[in-house]
Structure 1
Amino acid sequence: MSSKVDNPPAYEDALQDPKYEPTQLQHGSSDAPPPSYSPGPGMYPGPPGYWGQAGMWAAPGLSPSGMPTTIPTLSASMTATNPREMEGFLSTQWESTSVRHAFIRKVYLILAAQLTVTFSVVAVFTFVEPVKMFVIRYPGIYWASLVVYFVVYCILICCKEPRRRFPWNLVLLGVFTVALSYMSGTISSYYETKAVLLAMGITALVCVTVTVFCFQTKVDFTSCGGFLCIAAILLIIIGMVTSIVLAFHYVPWLHMLYAAIGAIVYTLFLVYNTQLLIGNRELAISPEEYVYGALSLYIDIVHIFLFILQISGSATD
């Protein structure tokens, strides 16, 4: 055993007299040298007699005075040196509510101009008797407008993105509006004035109701795209069957049933396209595709009017 003099000094004595050196161990002593009093990794030099973990007094990023030594980033979970996360952050900021509202206003302004042109042309073909009789006498005018309608529609679907130098898509949209307006006017010329006015009123009521419903409901209709495609295919098949049956003068009321189904299908399409326009759903169109948004709503409204016109025309007869 070693004597008391050979033992290492107390911790307080070592702090008061740092030059104190313990006496050498006697020859043959088996006692190990005392451990060092320097703080280990992750320790901080706290008050005498106490050693604590780093983070209580000297945490990373804090100076001894307690002030942060690093500049905070935009988000607690995002560093300013990560370009991908910064890109996602800026894109979500771009897709803000104000941008979406401006996009909706632009689409409905274009749609209002289209509907004004369409129903003005319909009014001319309905109320001006010489024009009405000219269209009835030369039905080839209707088929020419139908061909222009399909050709311009396919071009607009393939060219959804806007041009920066010259808005060719807006020019095509104007041509498409005139073609579809002329086709609607030629169809309206075959019906009485009372039936046309009734169809206009019902179409306006349906469109206002659908728009208010889409802005208020929490039900997401954008996930029903597959169902709507199936409904459109069935509508085409029913239309073909109806045309064949009516050619042989069988079931004369079948065209009213077809018109009712068509009006319902295009009303569902109007709900679907309106929710794509609003956003905040499973699917949404980009704010840059304002021409495509106006085109979709315009086609739905005009087809609802034409189907309701067939029903009201048959009812007035």
Structure 2
Amino acid sequence: MASYHADPGYAEGGMPKESVNFTNASIRAGFIRKVFMLVTIMLTIVAIMSVLPFVHKDIMTYIQHNGWLYGVSYLTFFVVYIVLVCCEEVRRSFPSNLICTAILTLSIGYLTMMICSRHNIVSVAICFVITAVCCGTIVIFAMQTKYDLTSMIGYVFIFAMVLLIFGLVAIMSMIFFKIKFLYLIYAGLAALLFMFYLAIDVQMIMGGRELEISPEDHILAAIQVFIDIIYIFWMLLYLFLDN
């Protein structure tokens, strides 16, 4: 009796190679759809929350007079994010993964709502359009280009560390010396940094590159793309701080 393992037309386990390739491609395609569907839902929730202060003045007043909630929301976001990134059992287990994702989304939604409340509706709308156009272009580029952007993640990390130090200097300069232009430079560079991260994360989701995300980690992949887009929006908003 012929052995499947000896036949070059068959892969390990007796499945034809074409079937294995088709199965892997199908799994990756389903993973991509699941990730971007989840990202869309999360961004929609944040967008709705961000509009609330402009349609209900009571919400605007409450937010502006309770700044301590910003710190609580950011701490909640940070803790849940660390849990999802570091604890594989949590992000891959239902319903704990969806519960943590919901908490993270609502905390970021509140943070975004507070940041938007410090600007006028025109500045928020302009930043929303710029973010949508930039992110859409980046996603299409990352999907279509043959260049492996994931191989540059080490250089991007080094740039991120340098930018972090520059950001601390910029924040202190703005607080103590009222020098704002350094912070504006930081916000612009940070927006560009997260655009690079978005391109890299998209390629890691697509697969077939030096680095890729496992199809079992759809929650982690969605969160990474979601946070990239949110930070791009935040950094652009900071450029309109006095508007």
What CA deviation, in whole Å up to 9, does each residue of 1:218-276 have, x standing for no partner? 01011112112112212211111011111123432222111100100000000010000
- How many angstroms does 1:92 deviate by? 5.4
Contact 2:76–2:104 (8 Å) recurs in 1? yes
> In structure 2, the residue corresponding to 1:231 is in which secondary structure?
helix
What amino acid is the match of 1:293? A
What amino acid is the match of 2:127? A
What amino acid is the match of 1:151? V
Match for residue 130 of structure 2 among 202, 210, 213: 202
Contact 2:128–2:233 (8 Å) recurs in 1? yes
Off by >6 Å, runs of 4+ in structure 1: 87-91
CA gap 1:236/1:126 in 2 versus in 1, 3 angstroms = farther
- How many angstroms does 1:156 deviate by? 0.8
Match for residue 278 of structure 1 among 195, 206, 218: 206
What amino acid is the match of 1:268? F
1:73 is aligned to 2:1? no
Contact 1:198–1:312 (8 Å) recurs in 2? no
What amino acid is the match of 1:278? M
Match for residue 165 of structure 2 among 237, 244, 252: 237
What CA deviation, in whole Å up to 9, does each residue of 1:15-62 have, x standing for no partner? xxxxxxxxxxxxxxxxxxxxxxxxxxxxxxxxxxxxxxxxxxxxxxxx
Provide the residue aligned with 1:107 in structure 2: 35
Match for residue 222 of structure 2 among 281, 294, 299: 294
> In structure 1, the residue corresponding to 2:177 is in which secondary structure?
coil
- How many angstroms does 1:167 deviate by? 2.2
1:249 is aligned to 2:177? yes
- How many angstroms does 1:87 deviate by? 9.0
1:182 is aligned to 2:110? yes
What CA deviation, in whole Å up to 9, does each residue of 1:200-234 have, x standing for no partner? 11111011101110111001011112112112212
1:258 is aligned to 2:186? yes
1:96 is aligned to 2:27? no
Between the aligned partners of 1:208 and 1:79, the Cα distance in structure 2 is: 40
Provide the residue aligned with 2:68 in structure 1: 140
Contact 1:159–1:169 (8 Å) recurs in 2? no
What CA deviation, in whole Å up to 9, does each residue of 1:92-112 have, x standing for no partner? 548621111111000011101
Provide the residue aligned with 2:80 in structure 1: 152
- How many angstroms does 1:313 deviate by? 3.8
1:212 is aligned to 2:140? yes
Between the aligned partners of 2:6 and 2:26, the Cα distance in structure 1 is: 22
The structure whose Rg is larger is 1
> In structure 1, the residue corresponding to 2:76 is in which secondary structure?
helix
What CA deviation, in whole Å up to 9, does each residue of 1:283-313 have, x standing for no partner? 1111111000000000000000000111134
Match for residue 152 of structure 2 among 221, 224, 240: 224
What CA deviation, in whole Å up to 9, does each residue of 1:61-80 have, x standing for no partner? xxxxxxxxx52635534899
Provide the residue aligned with 1:131 in structure 2: 59
What amino acid is the match of 2:139? T
Higher helix fraction (1 or 2) = 2
Tell which has more relative contact order, 1 or 2 (C-alpha 8 A, sep 6+): 2
CA gap 1:109/1:128 in 2 versus in 1, 3 angstroms = same
Contact 1:160–1:292 (8 Å) recurs in 2? no
Provide the residue aligned with 1:310 in structure 2: 238
The alignment covers a number of residue pairs equal to 241
- How many angstroms does 1:127 deviate by? 3.4
- How many angstroms does 1:126 deviate by? 3.4
Contact 2:9–2:16 (8 Å) recurs in 1? no
Q: Which runs of 5+ in 2 are unaligned?
A: none
Contact 2:194–2:232 (8 Å) recurs in 1? yes
Provide the residue aligned with 2:100 in structure 1: 172
